[in-house]
Amino acid sequence: MSKNSGKKGRGAIELGGVEFERGAGGEIHQVAGGDVPVLTTQGGVPVADDQNSLRAGQRGPTLMEDQHFREKIFHFDHERIPERVVHARGFGVHGTFETYESLSDITRADIFQRAGEKTDMFVRFSTVAGNKGSADLARDVRGFACRFYTKEGNWDIVGNNIPVFFIQDAIKFPDLIHAAKQEPDRGFPQAQTAHDNFWDFISLTPESINMALWIMSDRTIPRSFRFMEGFGVHTFRMINAEGKSTFVKFHWKPKQGLQSVVWNEALKLNGADPDFHRRDLWDAIQMGDFPEWELGLQLFDEDFAEKFDFDVLDPTKIIPEEEVPIRIVGKMTLNRCVDNFFQETEQVAFQTGNVVPGIDFTNDPLLQGRNFSYLDTQLKRLGGPNFTHIPVNAPRCPFHHFQQDGHMAMHNPKGRANYEPNSWGGEMGGPREAPEKGFTSHAEDVAGEKRRVRSETFADHYSQARQFYLSQTQTEQNHIADAFIFELSKVETPAIRSRIVSHLLNVDEDLAKSVGEGLRLKEMPQPADAARPTRMDLKTSPKLSVLLNGPESFKGRKLGVLVTDGVDADLFKALKSAIEAEGAMFEVVAPMVGGVKASDGSWIEAKQKVDGGPSLLYDAVAVLASKDGAESLTRIAPAKDFVTDAFAHCKFIAYSPDVMTLLEKTGIALDLDKGCMELSAPEDARGFVESCRALRHWEREPKVKPA
């Protein structure tokens, strides 16, 4: 029952246990009081009514003297800022880095001087080509940008989940991105490389072929941000206190192991949950399952660089781990989600140029260009040169400089002096240089003619592409061929398809033939003219395979369990207990989100309705149903999709005996394999969970995707 609240035209009401006041027009007002703060304008003026603009009479015109209305609309109209030119869609989280050992013999970087040292971090994962509203599971490189808030300033490793890149010189970056993004005359496709412009560029840029093999692999459809590697891509230098330089490549190794999805699964996931990767990382951190990566260094000297088969300054090449083993030096733990997405994830400004004393650049021509581009792009996106005043971009150590003014300046220097040298002493005089402590570039001998020329040592474009392909398992090689066929089938120009196949002939003849047959080329092209012949003697590298570097347990993964009324309560509890003991997540799916009643009369809450909780969302699935429940599932199309998709995607499937009715209706019963396990008794649950550690039953794939 309403009562007079003391304000004209308002009465107190309750909706779902929350108290409100209702205005004369039926609008809802929430009022401050107790621990509820007072709503104010940006100027701090308390707001009396946030539901109605000021008007002349109850039905008269709105008055422009309404400063609260004007401020609210004015600010809303300007909320958007330009999105990033690349890596627009991203997700950021906070974490810490722990140094395992002192590296003082290698670098004077403060972060690596003391074992056990902990450093705050901010990390942003992203896709490259799509806009902010694109889906998470596009086939794309993933950005893997890491900021260390060290005692000597911010250090950024602005990396990717792939260790090589498309191009060797930054001058081609605009062309690459223009070709990859939407075609300019039509504004599509979005977040896809399966179109003419992209493959036209690749077909005419042989240096991109190694990267093309990587992006057609399962590396570009990761199961989760948590289950992918990160790479610094370029060769950097580490400098010790004596000025000695050591070349270094940075690697992030996930302690959760590597894992990807399959392409059909990715396509469907983009519809089922476009935020799949974001939600996965958010949920894991909120549940306390903090993902961890170890930082590894490939360290080598000038002698190795001279003798190595490829140029260490070429960003389209790797140094195999078998040739230069990775030295693990620390661990990153991501343990806190952002407080506000825009304030932190959207406004963070990573820069390859953010290095600290003891870390330095090399003459990698792509890195040199990135050092300019990543600084320059912030000017328009974040509104001016003072983007380092934004908290997520500001260093956590003391900082002092004479840079002043500009839009949104928050840290102007105090005191009389805003220049140096000056005559003033102490605090009034401001900061001074620190020759012994400050950043010093490596004293490298440089000589040569000023020319637009590329080193001949960059000219081998196929050998490492072949090495990568041959390092994959047969399953992964099949996926690469299928990906090329899918992408090139979307290309409308036959000559472009043929050119790509001509490049693949320089990589592996069987791969090229498989792709050519999949495209039904009328005749195979000749191999593309190569600047350098493909080397056939490079050893394979097992570290390049996802499947050979997977996890040893089901920890951190998720089991989706479809249940019905009358489900065996003991079996359900046993499976839940076994999954949780493994350190994995257990999510209940039901015909209705309200849940089901188990055989013992207990109520089981559901997280997902089967329509919105497809098996795509899970690493493995189980269907536990009573006889009547299983029969009812045969009449629910999404329930049938739940098992057929899981089967087609080679996932492990557990089922209670009565579910055979559903399996027969879907046709799966005729093809049951070792990846499908009947749970006849509670003690069977443990064996199923142990099987799930393999993540996928790849032996099934030839049946569900025949050649």
Written as one string, the DSSP assignment of 207-226 is: GGHHHHHHHTSGGGSBS-GG
Written as one string, the DSSP assignment of 478-530 is: HHHHHHHHHHHHT---HHHHHHHHHHHTTT-HHHHHHHHHHHT-SSPPPPPP-
Please write the tens of the pLDDT for every residue from 144-177.
999 999 999 999 999 999 999 999 999 999 999 9
pLDDT at position 9 is 64
What is the distance between the alpha carbons of residues 676 and 658, in angstroms, rounded to a whole number? 14
pLDDT at position 8 is 57
Kind of pairing between the strands at 585-590 and 608-609:
parallel
Residues annotated within the binding site for heme are 84, 124, 173, 370, 374, 381
pLDDT at position 412 is 85
Q: Is the pLDDT of residue 5 over 60?
A: no
- Examine the residue annotation and report whether 442 is marked as an active-site residue of this protein: no
Do the Cβ atoms of 117 and 98 come closer than 8 Å?
Answer: yes
Q: Which CATH architecture has domain 90-171+223-389?
A: Beta Barrel (2.40)
In sequence order, what are the beta bridge partners of 622?
561, 654
Question: What contacts 507, CB < 8 A, 6 or more positions away?
Answer: 209, 213, 462, 465, 466, 469, 534
pLDDT at position 3 is 41
Name the amino acid, one letter, at 507. Answer: V
Instruction: Let me know if 620 is exposed, middle or buried by CB neighbors in 10 A (0-12, 13-18, 19+).
Output: buried
Residues annotated within the binding site are 84, 124, 173, 370, 374, 381
pLDDT at position 17 is 84
CATH 3.40.50.880 fits 554-704, yes or no: yes
| Residue count (the chain) | 707
Do the Cβ atoms of 608 and 592 come closer than 8 Å?
Answer: no
**Catalytic-role residue among 29, 87, 461, 649:** 87
pLDDT at position 301 is 98
Which range has the worst mean pLDDT, 95-99, 400-404, 564-568, 570-574? Answer: 400-404
pLDDT at position 7 is 55
Smallest CA-to-CA distance from 395 within 135, 682, 119 is with 119
Written as one string, the DSSP assignment of 385-420 is: TTGGGSTTTS-SS--------STT---PPPSS-SSS
Do the Cβ atoms of 47 and 37 come closer than 8 Å?
Answer: no
**Catalytic-role residue among 94, 154, 160, 195:** 160
Smallest CA-to-CA distance from 229 within 543, 452, 512, 691 is with 543
Number of H helices, E strands in the chain: 21, 21
Taking the model in full, what pTM does it have? 0.95
Do the Cβ atoms of 383 and 408 come closer than 8 Å?
Answer: yes
Q: Check whether the bond before 189 is cis (ω within 30° of 0).
A: yes
What is the distance between the alpha carbons of residues 395 and 313, in angstroms, rounded to a whole number? 30
What is the distance between the alpha carbons of residues 430 and 419, in angstroms, rounded to a whole number? 8
Q: Is the pLDDT of residue 490 over 50?
A: yes
**What SS3 class is residue 95?**
strand
Do the Cβ atoms of 53 and 64 come closer than 8 Å?
Answer: no
What is the distance between the alpha carbons of residues 77 and 705, in angstroms, rounded to a whole number? 51
What is the distance between the alpha carbons of residues 132 and 187, in angstroms, rounded to a whole number? 15
Do the Cβ atoms of 498 and 529 come closer than 8 Å?
Answer: no
**What SS3 class is residue 441?**
coil
**Domain boundaries of the chain, sorted by first residue:** 1-52, 90-171+223-389, 554-704
pLDDT at position 655 is 98
Average pLDDT on 271-297 reads 98
Please write the tens of the pLDDT for every residue from 643-667.
999 999 999 999 999 999 999 999 9
Which range has the worst mean pLDDT, 18-22, 184-188, 266-270? Answer: 18-22
In sequence order, what are the beta bridge partners of 604?
596
Smallest CA-to-CA distance from 498 within 519, 479, 482 is with 519
**What SS3 class is residue 83?**
coil
Grade residue 1 by pLDDT with cuts at 50, 70 and 90.
very low
578 backbone φψ class: left, alpha, beta (φ>0; ψ -120 to 50): alpha
- Examine the residue annotation and report whether 4 is marked as an active-site residue of this protein: no
Q: Which of 351-355, 402-406, 411-415 has the highest mean pLDDT?
A: 351-355
Question: What contacts 505, CB < 8 A, 6 or more positions away?
Answer: 512, 524, 525, 526, 527, 528
Exposed e or buried b for every residue in 38-76, given b needs 16+ CB within 10 A? eeeeeeeeeeeeeebeeeeeeeeeeeeeeebbeebeeee
Please write the tens of the pLDDT for every residue from 357-382.
999 999 999 999 999 999 999 999 99
What is the distance between the alpha carbons of residues 621 and 692, in angstroms, rounded to a whole number? 10
pLDDT at position 675 is 98
Grade residue 2 by pLDDT with cuts at 50, 70 and 90.
very low
Written as one string, the DSSP assignment of 134-194 is: S-TTSS--EEEEEEEEETTEEEEEEEESSSS-S-SSGGGHHHHHHHHS-BTTTTB--S---
Q: Is the pLDDT of residue 50 over 90?
A: yes
Q: Is the pLDDT of residue 467 over 80?
A: yes
